[in-house]
Amino acid sequence: MSEMLDWPRSNVDAVIVDLDGTMVDTLGDFVQALQRMVADLPLPYRDFVVEQALVERLVGKGSENLIKGLLAHIDQGVAATDNVALFEQAWASYQHYYRAVNGHYSEVYPGVRDALAGWQQAGLPMVCVTNKPAAFARDLLQEKGLAPFFPLVIGGDTVARKKPDPMPLLHACERLGTVPGRTLMVGDSSNDAQAARAAGCPVLLVSYGYNHGEPVDQVDADAVVDRLTQLRWI
């Protein structure tokens, strides 16, 4: 999939861009924060070694689901998901550690900065829509020098529901003043594609992201690229 992907510029008024797995490889940040989080918890959580492959499968549906998924994996789902006190302790610990490591163990994917600059030059307004809490998302974009592209950031705590629900995308279109059918969603997972389809947005996926550990070419999308610079406006 190294060839260019031509997309009519006249069909697109704005672009919605996902963050984790699309613009920035943040698995290192997640692993660091989660490993420090479980060290604060009682056994058997305290001795668990958090591996990147597990986080890759769990990431993408918001921080709360990430933590619940990890706790359930460690205790095989017996108690963690129903233990409110344990979750609250884990959530507070995770927020503390993630804030400390945010952006320090992550990298912007190749081609992302050039692609965003090209879209900006083409006159396309851009909004970042992520399931990550908005404050963490803004800090990460700032840390990686991507904040100037995104005056508007919609996080997992901005509206009542997260992707794959279409609500964040519809909210983005409302804020942008665009209609969904002319607002391109760019992401890396079935979460992004399902939200886009439900909202009525065209959707472009990248092949290098997380997608819950599943092949992205099996997801219902309008196109898949290996690098965002493959997208060419015509």
pLDDT for res 61: 80
CA dist., res. 138 & res. 48, Å (int): 30
115 and 179 belong to one structural domain: yes
Determine if the pTM surpasses 0.75: yes
Q: How many domains does the chain have?
A: 2
pLDDT for res 63 = 85
- Count Cα atoms within 13 angstroms, Cβ side, for 103: 14
Q: Give the CATH number for residue 174.
A: 3.40.50.1000
Rounded Cα gap, residues 134 and 102, in angstroms: 13
pLDDT digits (tens, 9 = 90+) for 8-59: 999 999 999 999 999 999 999 999 999 999 999 999 999 999 999 999 999 8
d(CA 179, CA 11): 11
**Residues shown for the chain:** 234
Helix/strand/coil percent split, the chain, to 5:
50, 15, 35
> Of 65, 81, 101, which residue constitutes the final position of a domain?
101
Structure tokens at 212: 């819950």
Give yes or no: residues 12 and 127 share one domain: yes
Task: Tell me how far apart the alpha carbons of residues 89 and 207 are, in angstroms, rounded to a whole number.
Answer: 35
Can you give the residue range of the structural domain that contains 130?
5-25+107-233
User: What is the phi/psi pair of residue 41, to 5°?
Assistant: -95, 165
Domain boundary among 49, 72, 101: 101
- The parts of the chain modelled with pLDDT lower than 70 are 1-2, 77-82
69 and 129 part of one domain? no
- Which residues are annotated as catalytic? 18
